Amino acid sequence: MKKFPLSLAIGALLVSPLSMAKTVNVVASFTVLADIVQQVGGDHVKVKSLVGPDGDPHTFEPTPQDSQALARADVVFVSGLGLEGWMDRLVSASGYKGETVVASRGVATRSMEEEGKTITDPHAWNSMQNGVIYATNVMNALINADPQDADAIRRSGARYIQQLQALDSWAKTTLAAIPAARRKVLTSHDAFGYFGQRYGVTFLAPVGFSTEAEASASDVGGLIKQLQTEHIQTYFIENQTDPRLVKQIASATGAQPGGELYPEALSQPSGPAATYVAAFRHNVETMTRSMK
């Protein structure tokens, strides 16, 4: 058998495809977005979510460890549309100089009037049609950060996008089969606007787009009357918010609990909504079960 010099063998190892593989160090603002990055990037990314499972991205308070994570990141992903009001301060404090990718870029936004101001709804990912936009933006940004693994990232991204497109079609078909009069539910805050717009569901909530907002007594009273007039009989709690107010409103109207939804935070890994896909499917199935 022909033997090669040790130096040549070591050189061959150093230039092997495995040794050239790159892992992109990513920080994502919250769990839904972190999971999209993980699904698209696969083994080529290492992802840290700033807001953890069951965490509220509106009220999140960064720690010094979060600042350190940003300083080490190759790419930072945010949802944008005003969701992460704390992110600019965190980026500035961390000294991060890389690209901050806005995953919602290209989404057709919706807005509402709140206390005399026009507020953009940040919860775009709750429409799976928008989820496809998020995944596409993530894929393109990862390819830009890791061009040597572009083919692999493009393949995994395409597979994932096809999965999201199938879920979008399934949700439309599933909810269209339910009479419109039954497609009305009460939730803790107004996080499902894009979902409702896409799939024909009416959502009522005592609090607006942000969980930091507070409902006035007149707002609550008007909501109770509307629920009674429209015969809305089911309410849902959200995994990341305090359920007491929505339960009080439900008690005044006789609405019954329909279960727990996951609009802006995934569950713990052992829970029913450990991924974006699982959370979306869980939300659709939980709502439709109550509507039937």
Per-residue pLDDT of 34-44, as tens digits, reads 999 999 999 99
Q: Residue 135: inside a domain, yes or no?
A: yes
Q: What is the number of structural domains in the chain?
A: 2
Query: So what's the pLDDT on residue 1?
Result: 46
Of 218, 184, 222, nearest to 204 by C-alpha is 184
Residue range of the domain that includes 223: 179-291
Q: Residue 76: inside a domain, yes or no?
A: yes
Residue range 191-233, pLDDT digits in tens = 899 999 999 998 876 544 444 455 566 666 776 776 677 777 7
Q: What's the whole-number mean pLDDT along residues 126-151?
A: 98
Give the residue with greater pLDDT, 18 vs 218: 218
Q: Residue 217: inside a domain, yes or no?
A: yes
145 within 8 A of 259, measured Cβ to Cβ:
no
Query: Would you state the structure tokens that stand for residue 23, as one six-digit string?
Result: 């892992």
100 and 159 inside one domain: yes
99: left (phi over 0), alpha (psi -120 to 50) or beta: beta
- CATH of residue 209's domain is 3.40.50.1980
126 and 183 inside one domain: no
Q: Residue 162: inside a domain, yes or no?
A: yes
192 and 118 inside one domain: no
- Of 166, 201, 232, the residue at which a domain comes to its end is 166
Q: CA 130 to CA 53: how far, in whole Å? A: 21
Query: So what's the pLDDT on residue 97?
Result: 92
